[in-house]
Amino acid sequence: MPTAPIRALLAFAILVTGAGSALPAPSEALKLAGEVHDIFEAKCTDCHGPEIPRPKGKFGYVLDLKKMASNPEYIVPGKPEKSDLYRMVEDEEMPGEDANVPPLTSEEKATVKRWIEIGAPGDLPPRAGHEAAAPKAAPPKPREPFLRHFFRWAGRFHPLTTHFPVALMFVAAFAEGIAWASGRDKWLQTVRFLIILAALGAVGASVSGWVNAYFSSYNKEPWALLWWHRWLGTATGVWCVICAASSGARPRSDERRYFRVALFVGAVLVAISGFLGSALIYGLNHYQWTN
């Protein structure tokens, strides 16, 4: 029977041997990095390529494997199940519905997973070998059904439709302020006209926003922004309709005062919803003064 020290040495030797066997050979690391680079180049550069002026989620360095591996928001080396990038690829959230390429195949997903498991190495093989190992071009995307294609196309009008409630709510609030300060009731008809148009525009913006979001893909950070923008925008649309319904309140009445407060609150809601919408594209700090 081995003594306790010998048993401890044997256990340590087994542990060291097992850990060493998990380490990949340099050739495997280079090969996997090259294959992952090719996969990302074929499937991800439409939305996150370095040449895109405004990549989705301000994430435009998908081909820089070293930079990605150093960002724990995307990759946790050695732990694909805790890496958001792999989970989105595995769940086919990326490439998204609006991408021009199909999702990763099971073999490509396995390659990305193995690459993260071995530590997400960033060194690529020599260019000549890298090109020789490039995967075959992805098959053409199947033709989209007409209704699905129509709704995807219609959803792209969402940014345009948001301009109507944004502009009209602010002008209506400004006109209501003039009516209140000057005491001239003739402004109230202008306010009512503006707020009715704003409510119609808000309903259109809310509907097109839900359609557009269904066909869009975002990485980790903007998903929270999308949730807030979607629900706050919907609530703002409902609020605008309520304001329009109460816009006929008599001058200098309690109902008019309630309407005036609701109108100014609606203008603030429109501003916040618009800010969150632009943050989905440009990031939360897009208004900061310094670079």
**What residue ranges of the chain have pLDDT lower than 50?**
1-2, 9-21, 128-135, 219-220
How many helices (H) and strands (E) are present in the chain, helices listed first?
Answer: 13, 0
Helices 146-155 and 186-214 pack at an angle, to 10 degrees, of 130
**pLDDT score for 138:** 53
**pLDDT score for 130:** 45
pLDDT tens track for 174-204: 999 999 999 999 999 999 999 999 999 999 9
**pLDDT score for 136:** 53
**pLDDT score for 10:** 47
**pLDDT score for 222:** 55
d(CA 271, CA 169): 9
**pLDDT score for 57:** 64
d(CA 234, CA 245): 17
**pLDDT score for 16:** 41
**pLDDT score for 11:** 47
User: To the nearest 10°, the Cα dihedral for 149, 150, 156, 162?
Assistant: -150
d(CA 104, CA 152): 22
CB crowding 40-71: b at 16 or more within 10 Å, else e? bebbbbbbbeeeeeebbbbbbbbbebeebbee
